[in-house]
């Protein structure tokens, strides 16, 4: 058993790599399950040893990758409190918010031979929960779109500045209407606690979607 | 009104950010899908 701190070599990077890879799969799957895009653009792949649906639309894939490239430095520094996939109606009002609440321990106890497979098992459970979440959610109105919000601290935004310029992918402060939803119904989907990250996923669903 | 990303400061205030750009619209993606299907159908016909 080895104890590392956040300052040790690559600890934050490893966690950020794992989480961003997971978030990429999760975002594709949410867009498929909640029918934000036509099902024809999705192809079945295997991730975390389970089948998932991933988009093959180049522009959409690039958009998701650019988004997560910008979020990654925040996760690396433990500055991303929440990553939220928001599904919005035609009027750009949120109808569903998939909230990934993330926290990382300041100290890390590693049993390296079991660590990755254990985390993979935990993340697989999230993927499986997302893939069946339509059973507990109401249908969305036609013509929905999506965006990704990141909850962070003002001082941490400097960690994003460089990558925003490199990727030519600027970020702005969200409007109140993009962040909050009136009297949402809360649906907890999954939570996990591992040596490297704690995460919980819940959905906030607008009571009246149409 | 959306505001520019705040300048770096020592402030520890919580902020919520989102990409300035929008993802491709459903209509745009649908057009791409139809074009791809047509292309694949032409390829099969050759």
Cα dist from A93 to A48, A128, A162, whole Å? 33, 27, 30
The pair of structure tokens assigned to A137 is 């959610």
The pair of structure tokens assigned to A132 is 């069946």
Q: How far apart are CA A103 and CA A137, in angstroms?
A: 26
CATH no. for A2-206: 3.30.900.10
What's the pLDDT tens digit per position in A25-74? 999 999 999 999 999 999 999 999 999 999 999 999 999 999 999 999 99
Contact A101, A19 (CB under 8 A): no
Q: How many CB atoms lie within 10 A of CB A184?
A: 17
Q: Is residue B23 less than 8 Å (CB to CB) from chain A?
A: yes
Q: How far apart are CA A13 and CA A26, in angstroms?
A: 19
Contact A61, A41 (CB under 8 A): no
Give the SS3 label for residue A107. strand
The pTM score is 0.89
Average pLDDT of chain A, as a whole number: 89
Comparing CA positions, the residue from A26, A17, A35 lying closest to residue A54 is: A26
Q: Nearest by CB to B15, which of A36, A59, A157?
A: A157
The pair of structure tokens assigned to B22 is 């929008």
Q: Nearest by CB to A149, which of B12, B18, B37?
A: B18
Mean pLDDT within A171-192 = 91
Give the SS3 label for residue A106. coil
Q: Model confidence at A5, in pLDDT bands (50, 70, 90)?
A: low
Which pLDDT score, from 0 to 100, does residue B5 have? Answer: 57
Instruction: Show me where the domains of chain A are located.
Output: 2-206
A107 has pLDDT over 80: no
Q: Which residues of A touch B (CB under 8 A)?
A: 36-38, 40-41, 57, 59-60, 63-64, 66-67, 70, 81, 143-155, 157-158, 160-161, 164, 169-175, 178-179
Q: How far apart are CA A173 and CA A167, in angstroms?
A: 18
Average pLDDT of chain B, as a whole number: 83
Percent of chain A clearing pLDDT 70 (strictly above): 90
Contact A115, A123 (CB under 8 A): no
Interchain pair A145, B22: CB under 8 A: yes
The pair of structure tokens assigned to A203 is 């959905």
Mean pLDDT within A3-7 = 56
Q: How far apart are CA A54 and CA A46, in angstroms?
A: 9
Comparing CA positions, the residue from B29, B35, B23, B40 lying closest to residue A38 is: B29
Q: How many CB atoms lie within 10 A of CB B5?
A: 18
Contacts of B4 in chain A (CB under 8 A): 172-173
């Amino acid at each position: 058993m080895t104890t590392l701190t956040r300052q040790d070599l690559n600890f934050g990077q490893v966690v950020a790599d794992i989480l961003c890879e997971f978030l990429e799969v999760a975002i594709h799957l949410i867009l498929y399950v909640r029918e934000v895009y036509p099902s024809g653009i999705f192809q079945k792949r295997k991730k975390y040893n389970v089948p998932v649906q991933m988009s093959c639309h180049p522009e959409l894939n690039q958009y998701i990758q650019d988004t997560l490239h910008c979020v990654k430095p925040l996760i690396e520094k433990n500055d991303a409190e929440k990553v939220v996939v928001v599904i919005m109606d035609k009027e750009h009002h949120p109808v569903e918010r998939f909230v990934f609440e993330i926290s990382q321990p300041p100290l890390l106890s590693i049993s390296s031979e079991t660590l990755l497979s254990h985390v993979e098992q935990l993340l697989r459970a999230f993927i499986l929960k997302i893939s069946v979440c339509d059973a507990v959610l109401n249908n969305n109105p036609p013509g929905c779109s999506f965006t990704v919000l990141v909850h962070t601290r003002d001082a941490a935004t400097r960690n994003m500045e460089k990558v925003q310029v490199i990727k030519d992918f600027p970020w702005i402060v969200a409007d109140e209407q993009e962040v909050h939803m009136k009297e949402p119904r809360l649906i907890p989907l999954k939570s996990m606690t591992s040596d490297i990250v704690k995460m919980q996923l819940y959905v906030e669903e607008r009571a009246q979607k149409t | 009104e959306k505001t520019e990303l705040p300048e770096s400061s020592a402030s520890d205030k919580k902020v919520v950010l989102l990409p300035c750009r929008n993802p491709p619209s459903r209509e745009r993606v649908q057009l791409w899908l139809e074009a791809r299907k047509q292309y694949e159908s032409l390829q099969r016909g050759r």
